[in-house]
Amino acid sequence: MRATASEEPELTDGFHLVIDALKLNGIETIYGLPGIPITDLGRMAQAEGLRVVSFRHEQNAGNAAAIAGFLTGKPGICLTVSAPGFLNGLTALANATTNCFPMILISGSSEREIVDLQQGDYEEMDQLAIAKPLCKAAFRVLHAEDIGIGVARAIRAAVSGRPGGVYLDLPAKLFAQTIDVVKGKTSLVKVIDPAPVQIPGKDAVKRALDLLKGAKRPLIIFGKGAAYAQADDAVRDLVEKSGIPFLPMSMAKGLLPDTHPLCAGAARSKVLKEADVVMLVGARLNWLLSHGKGKTWGAPGTQKFIQIDIEPREMDSNIEIAAPLVGDIGSCVTALLEGIDGSWKAPSEWVDGIKAKKDDNIAKMAKKLSQPKVPMDFHSALAPLKQVIKERPDAILVNEGANTLDLARGVIDMYQPRKRLDVGTWGVMGVGLGFAVAAAIETGKPVLAVEGDSAFGFCGMEVETICRYNLPVCIVIFNNDGIYRGTDADPTGRDPGTTVFVKGSRYDKMMEAFGGVGVSVTTPNELKRAVDEALSSGKPTLINAVIDPAAGTESGRIGNLNPQSALKKK
């Protein structure tokens, strides 16, 4: 006997199960770009109370999701269409994995039976196979009843241990699949304790403490992992109880203020070369620290390293780690604090020597910053921005470029943790506006995005996104008419030089085109006034800061990585 209409079971479908699984696990925001086959997923997610932020390019949406993960400790979600959209998001996913940002890239995809037989489906691509080498984990869901498990596995993989990027493949047919609503609800999984603490061994802690207390010139280096850990109080106590000078990597700036008496940022070269015991906290001995060897560091064998990392395989990656501490940063730092009491402090001769070097370098920098050149060079343009952040320490600074990044890192002091966001481990350009959008949405704080004109070109269309969502983002473009400089020329006279842009470009007009505020400035005073007005008003603003085209150096501070021709010009 056929059931009557009133007896028919209530159904749910793949669309709603994905949304319900995300909401169950505390996901509040999705970053993405609509299109086949995920357009309706975005619409439905918005109707169900999730915030869905649509971008103009998937790579920028992916960068937003990645930095959202860094700021919140929950995986940022990026939603893309299949094939080309997936590939656009994949760059951000790989970058998130390299930087240890928890992120999940969710992409619609072609049907398996057509992909596997290579029959030529719409945007046919084996996305799972492509993603696997570039992320921490990759999963595909084929049946609606497995959506809850798939989302749960992706969340746990993204945040557990060393965080990273995860790919979740959802074929188009999955969304339309229906199952009984009760069965669907029971299939969902709430992830319990996705990133459990990992306590270091007692012997490992003692080994590290013995090494520190025997040091004559100890140094702590904080990486962005220390900022991500949000163990801010323990980190501050470790520095202040031990009296050990610290060196923050760029995204760790502000864990303790850059103006802290024990901050060695202004004496970087001295402390890296002279320290006899170096403790790495959430930092890796990769290219950003010259792999722990070479001219940057002391003579081989004269320095010993302690490393705190949740990933055991990170130890000895470049040089011997004398005291590995495997565990989460909060647990490791807390364990070290228990062994540090008032009976031991870093030697005063070492601390005093660093202070003298710092004072000298800060005085030299102050002289550079006090010269209000017109046209502005990088230092005269950075001086007012340094003052802005000092006056508004709660603002978030996003920074990318070549010279714009390298010089701002050393000039602009940070005062609070997780307020400086930049290009990270890979040094990828184009992260700026995606980061700025997510920072504004996730924190509600004003954002100052300081962009080189070249870096802006990778993500510039997102000014429309910033205006559309009316975000409190002020973009400052250091416009020197080109990449590194705007003075190169084509020897044949046929074309512009390969590093040269259109002279006198008015980027501010782009912002005006979408209803935002556009300003062009030529002096430090004009720049300071324009930024203050933008941050006070909260209006989307783009400031075109005109820089001398001759300002800038090739490849910024990593010119040594740029190979030169072996052939001499005749």
Region for 370 from its dihedrals, namely left if φ exceeds 0, alpha if ψ lies in -120 to 50, beta otherwise: alpha
How high is the pLDDT of residue 493?
94
Residue in 420, 419, 393 with CA at minimum distance from that of residue 409:
420
Confidence grade of residue 568 (pLDDT, cut at 50, 70, 90):
low
User: Does residue 2 surpass a pLDDT of 70?
Assistant: no
Spatial distance between the Cα atoms of 476 and 541, rounded to a whole number of angstroms: 8
Per-residue H/E/C for 146-164: HHHHHHHHHHHHHHCCCCC
This prediction has a pTM of 0.95
User: What is the 8-class DSSP label of residue 489?
Assistant: B
For 411-423, the pLDDT digits (tens) are: 999 999 999 999 9
Could you tell me the strand order of the sheet in which 165-171 lies? 51-54, 29-32, 76-80, 103-109, 165-171, 137-140
What are the residues whose beta carbons fall under 8 Å from the beta carbon of 369, sequence distance 6 or more?
A: 379, 380, 382, 383, 386, 411
Render the burial of 549-568: b for 16+ CB within 10 Å, e for the rest: bebbeeebeeeeeeeeeeee
Cis peptide before 257 (omega within 30 of 0): no
How high is the pLDDT of residue 556?
60
How high is the pLDDT of residue 1?
35
Lowest-confidence pick of 159-163, 541-545, 560-564: 560-564
Angle between helix axes 348-369 and 403-411 (nearest 10 degrees) is 120
For 57-75, the pLDDT digits (tens) are: 999 999 999 999 999 999 9
For 338-364, the pLDDT digits (tens) are: 999 777 899 999 999 999 999 999 999
User: Does residue 562 surpass a pLDDT of 80?
Assistant: no
Q: In whole angstroms, how far apart are CA 369 and each of 206, 399, 408, 449?
A: 45, 19, 12, 20
For 104-156, the pLDDT digits (tens) are: 999 999 888 888 889 888 888 999 999 999 999 999 999 999 999 999 999 99
How high is the pLDDT of residue 364?
95
Average pLDDT (523-542) is 98
Quick count: other Cβ atoms within 10 Å of Cβ 35?
17
Spatial distance between the Cα atoms of 132 and 72, rounded to a whole number of angstroms: 25
3-state secondary structure of 280: strand
3-state secondary structure of 351: helix
Spatial distance between the Cα atoms of 518 and 242, rounded to a whole number of angstroms: 49
For 479-508, the pLDDT digits (tens) are: 999 999 899 999 999 999 999 999 999 999
In degrees, rounded to 5, the angle at the alpha carbon of residue 392 between the alpha carbons of residues 389 and 396 is 70
- Cα within 13 Å of Cα(290), Cβ side: 14
Q: Which domains does the chain have, with CATH numbers?
A: 11-187 (3.40.50.970), 202-356 (3.40.50.1220), 370-556 (3.40.50.970)
Quick count: other Cβ atoms within 10 Å of Cβ 191?
18
Cis peptide before 196 (omega within 30 of 0): no
Sign for the CA dihedral angle at 225, 231, 237, 240 comes to positive
What are the residues whose beta carbons fall under 8 Å from the beta carbon of 26, sequence distance 6 or more?
A: 74
Lowest-confidence pick of 113-117, 141-145, 210-214, 322-326: 113-117
How high is the pLDDT of residue 554?
81
Beta strands in 163-255 (DSSP E): 165-171, 178-180, 218-222, 246-248
Q: Tell me what percent of the residues of the chain surpass a pLDDT of 90.
A: 91
Q: What are residue 567's phi and psi, to 5 degrees? A: -90, 125
